[in-house]
Amino acid sequence: MIDLKDKRITVTGGKGFLGRALRDNLERGRHCRRVASADLPEYDLRTAAGIDRMYADQKPEIVIHLAALVGGIGANQASPGRFFYENAIMGIHLLHEAFRNQVEKFVALGTICCYPKLTPVPFREENLWDGYPEETNAPYGLAKKMLLVQSQAYRRQYGFHSIFLMPVNLYGPGDNFDPGSSHVIPALIRKFLEAREEGRDQVVVWGTGKASREFLFVEDAAEGIALACERYDKEDPVNLGAGFEITIRDLAERIAELVGYTGSIVWDASRPDGQPRRRLDVSRAKAEFGFVARTGFESGLRRTIDWYRGAEKR
């Protein structure tokens, strides 16, 4: 058990979607006094110079690595090389320099995209190496997965305290609603709200709608990360999720109803569905550090929609 209150904590990507929620959890929820962010443009963590300067400036005792190049299926398909390189280079160099700077603990955030395409449902951590990831986001998933390999290798050779967490798809207030790079929930919220406001009678959605996904509210994810940082110190990877799944078709219909869109939904089957199913076994997180997601899905959706409506008016 680590008392985080007086630790020097650096959150990479601390000004991003998950980073803001985590900093709020640490600073307000846990009253941590020394939490710093490492973000562009001040620190370019894709470069050795940016990483070295961050460690020299902030002298962290704990590093929580959230920074990543992320996006939906379209963005991953358009830039697979960039998604692989930027995520791999950030993680590998950050963890290595954490070891060299004698950081007390390194918390690495992976992704559900690390899992094989046809992983049996629910996804269990022991299934992680049973196949190749889903093709549309494999470069991203494999880049993040290398952090697990590095984390385990440094623990075994050097006794370095590093852990690896795999959150499922996140959503919530402050999410990315840019149509060029957003994930499915913010993309659908924006599509349906704009269609309603413009009086359009149909909305086109990628895929067949048959694929399923699991979603974790961003504030719950932040709590899970903080709990793991405090209480977990093993080499085994850990899922962070809510333990449920919903088809994209049902998700779209639910969001349309919540925003008041009454037109038709047209499914573009020429576009990829991505991984066929996603649902995590979340028992390890509960057993190891007491994490259970608390936010009901409909409540989380309503809060996300309300936030976006407010952001549009600002």
Residues 86, 92: Cα–Cα separation, whole Å: 10
Query: Are the C-beta atoms of residues 282 and 220 closer than 8 Å to each other?
Result: no
| Catalytic site residue from 43, 55, 140, 171 | 140
Query: Are the C-beta atoms of residues 151 and 166 closer than 8 Å to each other?
Result: no
Residue 132: active-site member: no
Catalytic residues: 140
